[in-house]
Structures are given as structure tokens and as C-alpha cells.
Amino acid sequence: MTRNSQAAAESVFREESGRIIATLIRLAGSFDRAEDALQEAFTSALATWPKTGIPTNPAAWLMTTAQRKLIDQGRRERTQREKEDSVRYEIEAFRPATEPELETAMHLPDDRLRLIFTCCHPALNQEGQVALTLRTLGGLSTPEIAKAFLLPEPTLAQRLVRAKRKIQEAHIPYEVPPPERLPERLASVQTVVYLIFNEGYVATAGDQLVRTDLCAEAIRLGRVLRDLMPHESENVALLALMLLHDSRRAARIHNGELITLEEQDRTLWDQTKISEGLALIEQAVRRGPPGPYQIQAAIAALHGEAKTASETDWQQIAALYEKLLELNASPVIALNHAVAIAMSSGLAEGLKHIEQIGASGQLDRYYLYHAARADILRRIGRKKESASAYSKSLELATNKVEQQYLRRRLAEVQNRPQ
């Protein structure tokens, strides 16, 4: 029983804390007070539920209890303040003038929308946005986030403190932005979610390629975002994109080694995720004009639908990258476009594109530029040049699994056993 209620409390906490904390922040006008109140409510649940049994609506129980804690907290602080008559001043952001009334129903529109827009406010730095989103909306603990990003806990804690302080002291509003500011602000939210996913999909450091926990969390956040604003086609497309990438997770590593898309065992691809991704793309297409996520998802879908690597519709993929370049003329997208050209219109043509991109020097420090160039040179049979490009890429790569892969390729073009 005790173990059951502990597990129930933990699972409710994990599932519902984002929703609960979002409302508590609105009522308390402070991230810290809200977190304290929720923590206290959770502690109460652990103490009470083994005796009374798990309540019929555990989320509502936690919400009500946390709100009571919030009111108690407010009273305690007021009494304390009245006792102290010494001169003191306080900088307070959005403290409500009156005591919050107990809210039994979850607030509509969902407070999580305010929360996600505040966490991803462009006035916060990206590290802070990511940490705060995972902490509050994702319900991850500080040690969990630190572990996922392979960072020391104090570093992560510091990021959270800094972000929360800026929200409070610079009065970053706790609200859904008005329609005229929505596109820009929503893009910033989507960036944070996709950043979390990418950090999980290709961890920038460490000896593991994929950090499954971060991918799963990003997909969960992507679902929340889609559910909150289902009419935004790019929210739907972002979720599709993440699912389609994630569907290949099991096939990307074999015996600790990176397996490229071309060499992957496609029977290991998660068909459930692929079909959900494909269905979502259709929804996204119906809901809005193609944005960057929709185009990227369409590219991922073309890979997902190809039964073998040679059946991949590279021509279509090249066309999609061209569209993407129109929206965002980034050299990284241009690089992907060049690879698609190499695969559809011929290696020599692709190499020409790659070297044009390289001429700007913008991608000199980008390991995938050198890896892509090395790969085409290898296919053409210009082994010496390929080897030096692989070496360059190896110098710049920071993930151990990717380094291992590049070493294997390097040995191959140098005609030596690894």
C-alpha cells in the first residue's frame, strides 16, 4: 500500500506537475513560491496517502493542497512583515493584491500556455529557457536536468536562479502574447523544444550518442504544445518531425557504433512512431502553409517511407531543402541540400555545391561539413582528400560515438584495418 501510494504520488507528480505549477505561478506571482508550495503538497501526499488511500482525483488533491500551502505561506509572510517595523524595501514582480482564491477547476485557458511563453521569453538566454522549461513544464528535478546535459548541478541551479530572477526583476509578463507578437514568440518556444530534442538525439558531448530521456521529454513537451495550440500547423509539424527522427533511434547505434541512415537496419525503425508522424504531417499540411518544421518533417518522412536506402526519393528531398533554404538561408541547410544533390544528381554536382558552401569559411569549424565532404570524396574514390577531410572532422567532433564512426571511415579510406 505504502509503496503503491508512493508510486502513485510520483506518477501523478510527473504527469501533472507542469499543469499544477503553471496555475500556482499565476496565483502566487512567483516561480519560487509556486515551487515551494507544490513541493510541500507533494510531501503531504507522501505522508497522507498511505493512511487515507489514494484520492479519486489525485491531481486535484495536489492542486488544492498546494493552493492552501500558498495561502498559508502568504499569511506567514504578512505576519512576519507586520512584526518587522524596520525600514525595508522589496522588489516584487506580480504579487496579487489579494489572497488567491482556491481554484478547484483547472484554469482555462490552460496556464501551461502562459508558462511556456514565459519560460521561452526571448529576453532570457537560451540556456535559461531550456533549463526553466524542463524544470517547470517538464517537472524534471534540477539534478535530473543537470545529468541529462552532463553539467554539474550547481551550474544548472545557477541558470535556473538567474532566469527566475530576471523574470521577476525585469517583469517578464506571465501571459500568452497577443496575436501580433505570437508568431515570433511561438517560434522561440518551438526552438527550445527542438533544441531539447536535438541535444538528446545527438548529444554534443559524452560517450553516448542518444540521450533517450531528453528525446522523450522533448516529444512530451511537443505533445503539450500541440494540444495547447492545435491550430498552429508548425506545432503539429514539430511533433511529427521529432517522432520521425526518434523512430530511427534503435537503428542508429549497433554495438556502440553509429550507423548512418544508409546502413541502418530499417526493420528496427519504430513503425508506430513513423505512422503517427506521417499522420501528423497530413494534419499540418491541412492546417497551414509549409513552415520550416513542416518541410523538415516532410524530408524525414521521405526517409521514413523508403523501404531501402536506394529507394529514397533524393530528388524530392533536394527540392524540399531548396524550399527550406528560401525560408532560412543557413549554410547548414545549404550543406544538407548539397548532400541531397549529390545523391540525386550525381556526386560531382554535389561536391561542387559543397565546395561552394565551404568557400565562405562559415562552416570551417563545423564537423559535419568536413564529414559530408569526406563522404562524397570517399564515394568518388578520391581517398587521400577524403582522409584529410575525415581527419579534420574528427578533430572537431565532440561526441565519442561520432568520433568512433569517423575513425572507422578514416581507416577505410586509408586502406588500413582499424
Partner 1 sequence: MRYMLLVYSREQAPAYPESMQQIAEGHRRVMAEAAAKGILEGAEPLRPATTATTIRPQNGKSIVLDGPFAETKEQLAGYYILNCKDLDEAIEWAKKIPTGCGGAEGCIEIRPLLEQPAHLMVQAAHH
Q: Which residues bind partner 1 (CB under 8 A)?
A: 87, 89, 91, 121, 123, 169-173, 177, 181
Task: Report residue 41 as a C-alpha cell.
Answer: 503538497
Q: Which is nearer to partner 1, 91 or 105 (CB)?
A: 91
Report, in Å, the least distance between residue 36 CB and partner 1.
24
> What's the rounded Cα separation, in Å, for the pair 16 and 26?
16
Q: Which is nearer to partner 1, 172 or 340 (CB)?
A: 172
Rounded to 5°, angle at Cα 407 from 401 and 410: 145
> What's the rounded Cα separation, in Å, for the pair 407 and 389?
12
Report, in Å, the least distance between residue 188 CB and partner 1.
13
Report, in Å, the least distance between residue 89 CB and partner 1.
5
Report, in Å, the least distance between residue 168 CB and partner 1.
10
Report, in Å, the least distance between residue 292 CB and partner 1.
24
Nearest CA among 418, 377, 368 for reference residue 398: 368
> What's the rounded Cα separation, in Å, for the pair 82 and 12?
38
215's CB contacts (< 8 A; 6+ apart) are 197, 200, 201, 242, 246, 249
226's CB contacts (< 8 A; 6+ apart) are 235, 236, 238, 239
Report, in Å, the least distance between residue 133 CB and partner 1.
18
Displacement of CA 52 from its chain's centroid (Å)? 38
Q: Which is nearer to partner 1, 169 or 282 (CB)?
A: 169
> What's the rounded Cα separation, in Å, for the pair 7 and 161?
29
CB 344 within 8 A of CB 315: yes
A 10 A CB-CB count for 151 gives 17
Report, in Å, the least distance between residue 220 CB and partner 1.
28
Report, in Å, the least distance between residue 121 CB and partner 1.
8
CB 404 within 8 A of CB 394: no
Report, in Å, the least distance between residue 174 CB and partner 1.
9
Provide the H-helix boundaries in 29-180: 31-52, 58-83, 111-119, 126-132, 142-148, 153-169
Q: For residue 326, give the H/E element and its range.
A: helix 314-327
A 10 A CB-CB count for 175 gives 12
Q: Peptide bond before 183: cis, by omega within 30 degrees of 0? A: no
> What's the rounded Cα separation, in Å, for the pair 113 and 151?
28
